[in-house]
């Protein structure tokens, strides 16, 4: 909890450094680079295995995801798989339907109840010692990333490109847990309250198409109509062209489902 609270307090440092377009570029570039680590890594790869990576790129993706300072890939995937198993039921660890907005957004993160996780949920991932090591030293990638930004861009870039963007990244991720189960449209009649939200799709590289995702969670693609922007999917397609990502799972609807008509 303390590192999390420290990160939020540190955002006040933006008031002590000059504001410039360069700093906005550091903020936005760092935010979206690491948002891809969250969406393409933590979520679509480690949690749902919607595409395949070799062992080297799997480790690299875990490192990129963990520069977000959202704990280890095993921890993240285990809890996310639990969420889908119990989505918007009483057992769901971050359902706004049962526990309210603030619990689903922040409360469960601040609670020590979820520091541990069921390793059986991620037995397919926990067999890799390098992922277990990253899970144990989960802040290491974020620290290395922060030092790299400081060495390349100096103090001002560190404040905007790491501290401020990390906190923005926290809340961009958390809004998917909270707001997309409250606000938005429902294309598919899923058994939960998942919603599609264009604004959050822009902020989270396509994760805002949450009702689509809950309908077919194994798909690498979440924006399924031409206007449903899904930058994470576009990046993964590009990675498949160069042989890094492979066996991308397409979006499928049930036979006779007219929801896309």
Strand partners, 210: none
- Dump pLDDT digits (tens) for 10-58: 999 999 999 999 999 999 999 999 999 999 999 999 999 999 999 999 9
pTM of the model as a whole: 0.94
The answer to the question of residue 95 being in a domain is yes
The answer to the question of residue 205 being in a domain is yes
The answer to the question of residue 104 being in a domain is yes
The answer to the question of residue 254 being in a domain is no
The answer to the question of residue 208 being in a domain is yes
Confidence of residue 131 (pLDDT cuts 50, 70, 90): very high
Confidence of residue 252 (pLDDT cuts 50, 70, 90): confident
d(CA 184, CA 195): 5
Confidence of residue 257 (pLDDT cuts 50, 70, 90): low
The answer to the question of residue 51 being in a domain is yes
pLDDT at 2: 73
Domain that holds residue 216: 2-7+22-241
The answer to the question of residue 248 being in a domain is no
- Dump pLDDT digits (tens) for 153-202: 999 999 999 999 999 999 999 999 999 999 999 999 999 999 999 999 99
Task: Work out how many domains the chain is built from and give that number.
Answer: 1
The answer to the question of residue 162 being in a domain is yes
d(CA 223, CA 198): 10
pLDDT at 3: 77
- Dump pLDDT digits (tens) for 51-97: 999 999 999 999 999 999 999 999 999 999 999 999 999 999 999 99
- Dump pLDDT digits (tens) for 208-245: 999 999 999 999 999 999 999 999 999 999 999 999 99
d(CA 245, CA 131): 18
d(CA 35, CA 30): 8
Q: What is the sign of the dihedral through the CA atoms of 195, 254, 223 and 32?
A: positive
């Amino acid at each position: 909890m303390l590192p999390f609270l420290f990160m939020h307090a540190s955002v006040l440092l933006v008031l002590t450094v000059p504001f410039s377009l360069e700093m906005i570029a550091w903020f936005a570039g760092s935010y979206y680079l690491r948002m891809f680590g969250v969406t393409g890594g933590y979520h679509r790869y480690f949690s749902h295995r919607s595409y395949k990576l070799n062992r080297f790129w799997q480790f690299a993706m875990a490192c990129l995801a963990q520069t977000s300072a959202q704990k280890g890939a095993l921890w993240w995937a285990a809890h996310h798989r639990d969420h889908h198993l119990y989505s918007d039921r009483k057992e769901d660890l971050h359902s706004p339907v049962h526990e309210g907005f603030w619990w689903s957004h922040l409360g469960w993160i601040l609670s020590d109840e979820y520091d541990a996780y069921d390793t059986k949920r991620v037995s397919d991932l926990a067999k890799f010692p390098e992922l277990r090591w990253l899970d144990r030293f989960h802040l290491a990638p974020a620290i290395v990333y922060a030092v790299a930004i400081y060495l390349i861009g100096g103090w001002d870039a560190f404040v905007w490109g790491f501290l401020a963007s990390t906190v923005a990244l926290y809340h961009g991720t958390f809004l998917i847990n909270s707001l997309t189960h409250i606000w938005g449209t429902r294309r598919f009649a899923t058994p939960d309250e998942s919603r599609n939200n264009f604004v959050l799709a822009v902020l989270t590289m396509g994760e805002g198409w949450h009702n689509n995702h809950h309908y077919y969670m194994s798909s690498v693609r979440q924006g399924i109509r031409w206007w449903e922007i899904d930058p994470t999917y576009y990046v993964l397609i590009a990675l498949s062209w160069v042989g890094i990502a492979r066996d991308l799972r397409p979006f499928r609807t049930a036979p006779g489902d007219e929801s896309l008509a």
